[in-house]
Amino acid sequence: MSMAEPATEAKNREALLSVRDLKKYFPISGGIFSRVVGHVKAVDGVSFDLYPGETLGLVGESGCGKTTTGRAILRLVEPTSGSVRFDGRDILRMNHREMRSVRRQMQIIFQDPFGSLNPRMSVGQIIQEPLDVHRVGTRQEREERVKYLLEVVGLASYHRRRFPHEFSGGQRQRIGIARALSLNPKLIVADEPVSALDVSIQSQVLNLLEDLQSEFGLTYLFIAHGLNVIRHISNRVGVMYLGVMVEMADAKEIYREPLHPYTEALFSAIPVPNPTLRRERIILQGDVPSPVNPPSGCRFHTRCPIAQDICSVQVPEWKESRPAHWVACHFR
């Protein structure tokens, strides 16, 4: 898929994060000598820009590559190829020492609020660890920073002496958020930060993230499969399918009038809180193809209700079908 130019409605602004043709292939080994016999094409040519102070939501079915995209951007997994420019610098060309300084500006909130916290460390140690690693301030200043961050995320300063198993899921996620904030980052990759929480707690954490964004001037790459969550928190939304981006637009625009057939089917599954209102549900036929051997041409053509012969042989152009509304489809 040609991704030469990402979606942008503000070309006069400089992007904080600029991703171009990002790919991540995981090798598959087999045989007696464990030779590489294939690759899982988890991310296969993703491009987008992310601007200071905004929230870009990435949405798609499980296995579409959205989490791998976020981790590859942070180099938690090494990308196979592509370019990731953060604050004007290509971080994929940086060595370990250069990357260490940039990591202070790029943090992540993990999906599992318990598995991401070391059970042998107290809450205070968990939040203070990034400060220790980067040698920020004196010991007393670090301790004061921990107390401040706990209060910022809605916990008490005395909670720093407790351990993760003594907290609820929502409280653990607040601890994870405090840890992500410890170094005053510019960018936070939020990898499904509320999907493991009760619905009543999800709204509290989402409101907290919005308040923190306003207070600290944060920029979010928000990854989720909850469509209502994405709509609530995002300024723009990118839709991924089988490792590629198929549509990107302003959140209100894309939810009001999606263009790509996959986006239409995805959004038709959103429950409507009105028992008298009926919405046509688009049921996709077949299963999601394997990322080991994705379909030729448009990757969605095997399940697309409007597919024609051209879809199986020619990759659709990534085009601006409407102002600031980008889509990869031959017929939209």
CATH number of 159's domain: 3.40.50.300
Q: How confident is the model at residue 277 (pLDDT cuts 50, 70, 90)?
A: low
Question: Is 227 inside any structural domain?
Answer: no
Contact call for residues 192 and 230 (beta carbons, < 8 A): no
Counting every residue written for the chain, the total comes to 332
* Structural domain containing residue 176: 94-185
Mean pLDDT over 194-208 rounds to 89
Number of domain units in the chain: 1
28, β-bridge pairs: 38
Question: Is 139 inside any structural domain?
Answer: yes
Which residues, 6+ apart, have CB-to-CB distance to 56 below 8 Å?
48, 50, 220, 221, 222, 234, 235, 236, 237, 238
- Sole residue written with tokens 């296995």: 63
* Predicted confidence (pLDDT) at residue 9 exceeds the cutoff of 50: no
User: Over the stretch 74-85, which tens digit does the pLDDT of each residue have?
Assistant: 999 999 999 999
Question: Is 178 inside any structural domain?
Answer: yes
Nearest to 62 by CA among 226, 222, 188: 226
User: Over the stretch 148-176, which tens digit does the pLDDT of each residue have?
Assistant: 999 999 999 999 999 999 999 999 999 99
Half-sphere exposure of 121 (CA within 13 A, CB side): 14
Contact call for residues 193 and 204 (beta carbons, < 8 A): no
Question: Is 211 inside any structural domain?
Answer: no
Question: Is 173 inside any structural domain?
Answer: yes
